[in-house]
Amino acid sequence: MRRTGLLAGETTVEHYRSWHPEDVAARWFHACGSPDLDLGCSFVGWFCTFDDQFDSTLGHDPQAVEAHIATLHELLYSPPLCFLRSCNGTAGLRARHGCSPLSKG
């Protein structure tokens, strides 16, 4: 998350860690083993941090949001990033719950 700029600076990192995303992930994904829980922790941390950005002035500027989402789309579909790990890592979860993988279309 530091690479993408979601966590910039030690103050932001400390604030993020104070949420204890690993505990949240363990509660959301309580039936998962270590590798899946690792992925769940990454998802929870990323999603909550990303979502919080739109609670600022960014969320009131449609052009800035559009640029932000365009950057996100580029990141998600450019390897290597967590999204690709997520697609591969959750294949078993999707199969068990009858979900189809996300597509670009």
Q: What is the dihedral of CA 56, 59, 64, 67, to 10 degrees?
A: 110
At 84 the pLDDT is 52
The mean pLDDT values, 10 residues at a time, for the chain of 105 residues are 77 87 81 77 80 87 91 72 56 54 43
